[in-house]
Amino acid sequence: MSGSGHLLEIQRRMAAAVMHPLTRAETMPRRRRDGTSNLTEAEAIIRPNDRLTAFERLEIYNRQYWFRLYSSFEEDFPGLESILGREKFDVLMRAYLTDRPSESFSLRNLGSRLQSWLGTHPQYIEPHVTLALDMVSLEWAHIEAFDSEECPRIGPEALAGIGEDSVLHLQPYIRLLALSYPVDDLLIQVRSEAGSSTSAANNASASRKRRHVRRVAALAPRTIWLAVHRHENSVWYKPLDEEEFRLLSALLAGKTLGTAVDECFSASAIPEEQRPAWLQEAFAAWAALGWITSETGRSDLKGTA
């Protein structure tokens, strides 16, 4: 026997109440979306005291849950908030976090499924679908680049021995993006105004904390290619040529150097005779940034979360 029948039931019932969206006034709804009465549920499991009803006691946890998630999500996606404005951002945030509650012990992963979720729920970012998706890609890449592993750089000897059939490894913190809007400058501005990133704590919040995020003016579309990477432990957005983007993407996909170079120049305007010099320069720059490594990232810690 599992010995946890009753405990499991209580945890399921309480979590269902706690994780259910608040009303627009940030209170616990009397009735859930599926018709369940929170009043009846609270009274069934929670004991009232001389000052608070069972409903009010449960509501404290319902509010805490959402306040914590809101503040983490807002800190992760200030760029998206600046594009959508506070009200639309709030609606999106509640819907996403209701649809995709955290499945990780770390709040760091709260936004990991936002891109894919928005792909199937574009109504939350209309009419700025592409702009908003570009911003979310960049913001998630930033989070990943911030704390992903850094592998040892490739040594000069190994670098000298590279040939057409070699497979090169890039730093696990590098994220490559092809975007339709130049959201990089915008995000740099928004982040510098918005402040630091979330960290886990174990205290409670008396109220919902809001930060000021400025609404952005319209941004004209322009295709850009970026490497989001880390240098001396700061995250940087490095603009790339289209050719650099194609070459790096092919290398990241595990293709041999020969194939990657072919893909890089397949539709390139760089004249044939300039290509060797172009390649040499690109690789020298990447090597100087420490992007090429001798190994792939650790796999032992990756997995279920």
Partner 1 sequence: MPANRFNGFTEYGVGIGLRIPHYQHILSRRPVVGWFEIISENYMIDGGRPLEILDKILEQYKVVQHGVSMYFGSVDPLNREHLKRLKSLARRTRTPWLSDHLCWGSVDGRYTHDLLPMPYTWEAVEVTARKIRQVQDFVEVPVVVENVSSYAEFHVSEMTEWEFLTEVVERADCGILLDVNNIYVSSENHNFDPFTYVNFVPAHRVAQIHIAGHSKFEKYILDTHDHPVLPAVWRLYARAIERCGPTATLLEWDDNIPTFEEVHGEALKANKFLKAAAEAPPDAAIPAVESAASQILEHTGVSR
Angstrom distances, CA of residue 134 to CA of 139, 180, 227, 229? 9, 7, 14, 17
Q: By CB under 8 A, what part of segment 223-242 binds partner 1? A: 230, 233-234
- Could you tell me if 227 and 175 are in contact, meaning their C-beta atoms sit under 8 angstroms apart? yes
Task: Give the closest residue to 188 by CA, choosing from 231, 228, 243.
Answer: 228
Q: d(Cα 61, Cα 28) in Å, to the nearest integer?
A: 9
Q: Are 275 and 185 in contact (CB under 8 A)?
A: no
CB nearer partner 1, residue 146 or residue 283: 146
- Applying CB under 8 A, the span of 54-62, 82-90, 158-166, 221-229 interacting with partner 1 comes to 54-62
Find tokens 């289209």 and name the residue: 242
How many residues make contact with partner 1 (CB under 8 A)?
Answer: 68
Among 23, 192, 202, 299, binds partner 1 (CB under 8 A): 202
CA angle, 268 then 274 then 279, to 5°: 80
| Region binding partner 1 by CB under 8 A among candidate stretches 65-73, 83-91, 129-137, 157-165 | 65-73
Query: CB-based burial of residue 174 (10 Å sphere; 0-12 exposed, 13-18 middle, 19+ buried)?
Result: buried
Q: Which of 47, 87, 156, 217 binds partner 1 (CB under 8 A)?
A: 47
Look-up: residue for tokens 């194939």? 259
- Please name the residues in contact with 304: beta carbons below 8 A apart, sequence gap of 6 or more: none
Quick one: which of 22, 29, 38, 46 contacts partner 1 (CB under 8 A)? 46
CB of 201 or CB of 217, closer to partner 1: 201
> Residues 149, 238: contact at Cβ < 8 Å?
no
Question: Which one of residues 34, 50, 157, 272 is an interface residue with partner 1 (CB under 8 A)?
Answer: 50
Q: Where are the alpha helices (DSSP H) in 100-238?
A: 114-120, 129-147, 156-160, 183-194
Q: Could you tell me which stretch among 88-96, 180-188, 192-200, 250-258 binds partner 1 (CB under 8 A)?
A: 192-200
Question: Residue 124 in contact with residue 91, Cβ under 8 Å?
Answer: yes
Pattern 205-224, partner 1, x by CB under 8 A: xx------------------
Q: Minimum Å distance from CB 77 to partner 1?
A: 17
Compute the least distance from the CB of residue 16 to partner 1, in Å: 9
CB of 259 to partner 1, least distance (A): 28
DSSP element (H, E) containing 226: strand 224-231
Q: Which of 28, 69, 183, 216 touches partner 1 (CB under 8 A)?
A: 69
175-179/169-170 β-pairing:
unpaired
Where in 77-136 is the site for partner 1 (CB under 8 A)? 101-108
User: Taking CB under 8 A as the rule, which mask of x and - marks residues 134-173 in contact with partner 1?
Assistant: ------------xxxxx---------------------xx
Residues in a beta bridge with 169: 293
The residues binding partner 1 (CB under 8 A) are 2-8, 10-12, 14-15, 18-19, 44-47, 49-52, 54, 56-58, 60-61, 64-65, 68-69, 72, 101-108, 146-150, 172-173, 196, 199-206, 230, 233-234, 297-298, 300-305
